[in-house]
Structure 1
Amino acid sequence: MKIYEISKTDLYSLEPINEGPRQIFGRTGRSKAKGKAGITTQRFRCPTGPRKGRIVANPSTCNKPLNIKQSQKLKGTRQAKGSIQGARSSYTKKYSQASQRVKRSNLALKARRGKR
């Protein structure tokens, strides 16, 4: 007996299931001690969990519990220095060579994957 005799769905017309975090490119932070300023590395975008949509270094980070104390402290820091950080990050994204490489790499990945 063949599988198509049992099933009413056309198995060859089904699209592949893409689950799990999507691989993208990211850059490392500036660390003069390690000497790795602006290196392009592999990152992952979380599809589910409390960090949905966030870019993380390890896929296992997506479902870890949140640190409440740390998040409350960061909220206060953002209120105090949010505008400064926004200007600084936009400058980095615009003029940093590492950020430009990451941007081009991710656009190429997106084009290769096609629209979903």
Structure 2
Amino acid sequence: MNKWLLLIISTAFLGVLLAAHLINLISPMVIAYILVMALIGYVVFYIDKRLAEQSEQRIPEHFLLLVAAAGGWIGASLAKVQLRHKTSKWSFQLAYYCAVLLNLILLYFVVWLF
């Protein structure tokens, strides 16, 4: 996926969350959770990139995907673009975007159906 498209989607998502919060559709706790998970997502991908550069033992891909699915995809997406990390392996890319989709579906159910 084009790196700019990934950044646009992440930014648009944050804009929708802010708008939903401003019209009282979403709890501040949900916003805080998403922002904390975004930070965690960025840090985990950053650490994995540094470990890769040093030829150290890496963070397992399933953990990276779990962080993305749990809401860290916004920060992870920023790290992927900024650090050029985890961008070439097709199987990881597919699983990553499935994790992002899963997170968006779960967020929809949590926010708008409950």
* Pair in the same fold by TM > 0.5: no
TM norm structure 1: 0.34
> With CA pairs under 8 Å and 6+ residues apart, which has the higher RCO, 1 or 2?
2
Identify the structure with the greater helix proportion: 2
Q: Which has the larger radius of gyration?
A: 1
Identify the structure with the greater strand proportion: 1
TM norm structure 2: 0.34
